[in-house]
A and B are shown apart, each in its own frame.
Chain A
Amino acid sequence: MPAPIRLRELIRTIRTARTQAEEREMIQKECAAIRSSFREEDNTYRCRNVAKLLYMHMLGYPAHFGQLECLKLIASQKFTDKRIGYLGAMLLLDERQDVHLLMTNCIKNDLNHSTQYVQGLALCTLGCMGSSEMCRDLAGEVEKLLKTSNSYLRKKAALCAVHVIRKVPELMEMFLPATKNLLSEKNHGVLHTSVVLLTEMCERSPDMLAHFRKLVPQLVRILKNLIMSGYSPEHDVSGISDPFLQVRILRLLRILGKSDDDSSEAMNDILAQVATNTETSKNVGNAILYETVLTIMDIKSESGLRVLAINILGRFLLNNDKNIRYVALTSLLKTVQTDHNAVQRHRSTIVDCLKDLDVSIKRRAMELSFALVNGNNIRGMMKELLYFLDSCDPEFKADCASGVFLAAEKYAPSKRWHIDTIMRVLTTAGSYVRDDSVPNLIQLITNSVEMHAYTVQRLYKALLDDISQQPLVQVASWCIGEYGDLLVSGQCEEEEPIQDEVLDVLEGLLVSNLSTPVTRGYALTAIMKLSTRFSSVNRIKKVVSIYGSSIDVELQQRAVEYNALFKKYDHMRANPNPNIAVITIHASNSTEADMTDFVFQAAVPKTFQLQLLSPSSNVVPALNQGTVTQVIRVLNPQKQQLRMRIKLTYTLKGSAVQDLAEVNNFPPQSWQ
């Protein structure tokens, strides 16, 4: 039996494959050879074979048949075997499989091995993928190693303990004694991992947090030594001594200082020192400054320190390095609520970031800009944000449009400005505006009584330019239907359309491929409403009757009802009384049987007068096969809020039914 080919040889061979199929063939051939080698329980080449399997696994091929072999390698006495075995375990096994439990005993033995590199392998594997059961079984061993004087093992034990605590939080207590003198260590590796362990414990338990607060002075001292000490070649990164340790200490200080006055005060000086003395020309210095700023903002720091922190972020915003700008915007977003005024000072820089090429930076700049809008800067800010809305990527437009609407609603300096702003959004990003904005906008326009003429004129003009943006078209249609009389009555500042032109536009919406069914509904209703405002009633009648046979059921229903209005209630057209509200009720029946002898009755408060016209029928067909419509005319000379008590009586499956209800939610347009 020839020796299995070497790992590097296999890699070379596989890389010569010119097609996926060729590669697959090579892999299958080699896997077959490896499988028979495993079956023969070959100890000599097991390591080589598993290594090859790991390579093939990385290419995406299945390697589960090698799992048990990894365990055999771990149990071997050869260091090479153990190295590959543990690597294989970390790559091929996970806690879902029962197989991994077989590792526990091996790991236990290796944690007590005479060679520290074997102990290291065991600690690493346990700390990377140990399941809860394994952690429970081996926590004692880890705790023992946490107390050793061997710094190589001690640092690994600390991180292994972190993993154990994450998997089995109840075991945290048992590591407490071992943490006693962790920070007295000179070895940076041990210091770093100890700080990570302490951080984990403090984050998980308020009791631990309280207990470890007494370490603040010691942590401050260690940090001070790192900053003040001279050049240390072993830990130097671009002139800074052990930035990794500095960052972790700053993070632990953050947790210890939060909500605690004494601790916060104790760290005040060192934070100021780090903030002012750290070299900012390279990423490593900025990484430390970033962590310092986060800490200053989270603890109970003096206002001077907070301002210092925000100013650092302000300087970050001007940095050429986009990564620095990104973290600055992220941090500012976190603090904008609590330190609003300080962040305002950097508003113009933040607004400049709207023009950045990076998507993430743009998004953050946008969110931050909206957070900074107030009554004083609304005009200037809105100009920038509308410009942004024009040119930004589609993924931003919906959020930006919503943000603009919200800001405008809160801080609009005038109604005209408000309407103009809405118009701008509808015309530039109309198709991205959210569906629920349409009724809100209509409400807003309705409430701005003095702006109706201006609004309808602008919206009409916008429709002439572009009918593709549905929210714009819907709002415009509604306004034209409601205020069409203002559009043609000589109140407009510019050249005004004649009635037929307006109807042309609305009819155009009905037939256009760009209009959605909802939009068509708006357009048809608008045309109908103009029959009481315009004189070209016959034309409108014709349009409405055509749509009585529309395929779109919604449209058809509307058209049919409007037709009915024409036929039966034409006599009301003569003198439309502004104090009269015309309400149409639609009754439908979803039960299985017809409702017969259907009678609708209504009563209104004393100041109103009610006229009920004949219903279309007194049978409401079953299963929503048809509706009964009836028109109510309400005279409301005092323009009071309309309320109504209604009573429905009908016969269903032989029994008489009576239903009483009160209706209070008539839209304001119906009675104002």
Chain B
Amino acid sequence: MQFMLLFSRQGKLRLQKWYVPLSDKEKKKITRELVQTVLARKPKMCSFLEWRDLKIVYKRYASLYFCCAIEDQDNELITLEIIHRYVELLDKYFGSVCELDIIFNFEKAYFILDEFLLGGEAQETSKKNVLKAIEQADLLQEVRHLIKITPN
């Protein structure tokens, strides 16, 4: 996977994960163009499109579009499953996730993504293990924080 973008129906970016080195300017350009292209698609169209030399896989969940750019040898259908798995993880973590959760807790959405994918590939195929790791890391945050504010 080269990158993943999450954006609303109005085209507002909610998450951007880039696995290839690009300048800020290039990222903005790609985002703008791709968001426009995907938002113009009609509901009856399939989830795949060719864009530049990449394959784009996208799926809408409620008010959010999940959009991935994959390479020629990558399997489009399994990418849909990757997207679905990420949504399930968010859903389990936030308890019936909605766009607002991702807006107000964007850093957590990134943390979850970074426990599921690494360098654009799935690092863990068990839902349980991803959620367990996030849980433990969150605890680590709490504990250290507690230690900090109770000096004794």
Contacts and interface: CB of A to CB of B under 8 A. Distances in A.
Contact of A123 (B19, B118, B137, B140): B118
Contact of B78 (A60, A287, A326): A287
Interface string B102-136: 01101100110011001101111111110001001
Given A245-B125, A287-B81, A291-B78, A117 B136 contact: yes
A115 B133 CA distance: 12
Nearest to A284: B81
* Chief secondary structure at chain A's binding surface: helix
B121 A359 contact: no
A157 to B, nearest CB: 10
Q: What are the nearest 7 A-B pairs in CB distance? A: A287-B77, A322-B46, A189-B124, A159-B118, A127-B119, A287-B78, A244-B125
A128 B110 CA distance: 13
Contact of B123 (A156, A237, A247, A359): A156
16 contacts: A11-B103, A54-B107, A58-B16, A60-B28, A87-B110, A96-B23, A117-B133, A120-B115, A162-B121, A163-B119, A188-B126, A189-B129, A192-B122, A235-B125, A294-B75, A326-B76
Which bracket fits the contact residues of A? 35 or more
B28 to A, nearest CB: 7
Given A58-B106, A234-B128, A358-B44, A283 B76 contact: no
B34 interface: no
Interface string A242-283: 111101000100000000000000000000000000000001
B125 A94 contact: no
Nearest to B132: A152
Given A94-B21, A115-B140, A152-B133, A323 B47 contact: yes
Contacts of A155: 123-124
Interface stretch (B61-69, B89-97, B141-149): B141-149
A323 B121 contact: no
B74 to A, nearest CB: 9
A117 B80 CA distance: 28
B118 A128 contact: yes
Interface in B12-62: 13-16, 19, 21-23, 28, 42, 44-50
B45 A96 contact: no
A96 B21 contact: yes
Contacts of A322: 44-46
Contacts of A163: 119
B87 interface: no
B81 A323 contact: no
B21 A95 contact: yes
A159 B82 contact: no
Given A192-B125, A324-B77, A358-B46, 8 more contacts: A79-B140, A124-B118, A128-B19, A159-B118, A162-B119, A235-B125, A287-B75, A322-B44
Contacts of B42: 357
Given A155-B124, A244-B81, A357 B45 contact: yes
A358 B46 CA distance: 7
Contacts of A128: 19, 114, 118-119
B43 to A, nearest CB: 10
Contacts of A247: 75, 78
Interface string A301-322: 0000000000000000000001
A86 to B, nearest CB: 9
A473 interface: no
Contacts of A327: 48, 76-77
Contacts of A12: 104
A650 interface: no
A188 B144 contact: no
A358 B119 contact: no
B45 A358 contact: yes
A116 B96 CA distance: 29
B141 A94 contact: no
A600 interface: no
Contact of B141 (A55, A79, A245, A294): A79
A328 to B, nearest CB: 11
A75 to B, nearest CB: 15
A156 B137 contact: no
Most chain B CB neighbours (cut-off 10 Å) among A95, A117, A242: A117
Interface string A98-129: 00000000000000000101001001100111
Contact of A80 (B23, B46, B82, B141): B141
A427 interface: no
Contacts of B75: 247, 251, 287, 290-291, 294
Contacts of A11: 103-104
Contact of B106 (A55, A83, A188, A359): A55
Contacts of A188: 124-126
A410 interface: no
Contacts of B15: 58
A278 B47 CA distance: 23
A188 B123 CA distance: 9
Contact of B121 (A117, A196, A325): A196
Contacts of A192: 122-125
A568 interface: no
Interface in A1-57: 7-8, 11-12, 15, 51, 54-55
B140 to A, nearest CB: 5
B18 to A, nearest CB: 8
A90 B103 CA distance: 19
Contacts of A123: 118
A468 interface: no
A193 B107 contact: no
B56 to A, nearest CB: 11
A78 B144 contact: yes
A234 B75 CA distance: 23
A290 B133 CA distance: 32
Contacts of B46: 322-323, 325-326, 358, 360-361
Contacts of B124: 155, 188-189, 192
A294 B119 CA distance: 24
Contacts of B121: 159, 162, 193, 196
Contacts of A287: 75, 77-78, 80-81
A244 B122 contact: yes
A365 to B, nearest CB: 13
A373 interface: no
A160 interface: yes
Nearest to A233: B128
A459 interface: no
A237 to B, nearest CB: 7
Nearest to A325: B46
A663 to B, nearest CB: 47
Most chain A CB neighbours (cut-off 10 Å) among B16, B46, B104: B46
